[in-house]
Amino acid sequence: MNGNRFIDSNIALYALDVNSPKGQIAAKLLADRPTMSTQVIMESINVLIKKLGFTKHEAFEHARFLVFNSAITVISDATLLRSFTISESYGYSHWDSLIIAAALEAECGTLYSEDLKDGQVIEGALTIRNPFLAQP
């Protein structure tokens, strides 16, 4: 696997608040043109509208920013099937397993997420990192 980095939707959302410490870290990760899946984009839109009260226009503008400033990987039937195996092997939810499968298929070496187990290595190739924790 190469050094590509994949980000979860929580990182994409924190980047909206560049005045917070988490927002500053997330913005730096986005500045490096990370990889993300179509699922991450859609989850971000959903949270912005349903939980944070953004208008559709505002949510779509953020999604456009993500699309134009990231490498986007599309969820395929192969991604779905791989996510089932990951969920059964590692115990993650099907949604989290789909993120992990997409990161693996994009040949990313690191998956940044606040919600997954920091330091866990998946299939010997992908390391999960919580960018908000102090790393060794």
User: What is the pLDDT averaged over residues 99-122?
Assistant: 97
Instruction: Please give the average per-residue pLDDT across 12-41, as a whole number.
Output: 95
Query: Which residues are within 8 A (CB) of 52 and not within 5 positions of it... i.e. 6 or more apart?
Result: 13
**Where do the domains of the chain lie?**
4-129
Cα separation, 64 vs 93, in Å, equals 27
pLDDT for 2 equals 46
Mean per-residue pLDDT, 97-126: 97
Computed over every residue of the chain, the mean pLDDT equals 94
> Tokens 């490498």 sit at which residue?
71
Two tokens, residue 98: 């789909």
Give me 4's structure tokens. 């590509």
User: Which superfamily is assigned to 4-129 in CATH?
Assistant: 5'-nuclease (3.40.50.1010)
pTM of the entire structure? Answer: 0.92
The pLDDT tens digits for 32-68 are 999 999 999 999 999 999 999 999 999 999 999 999 9
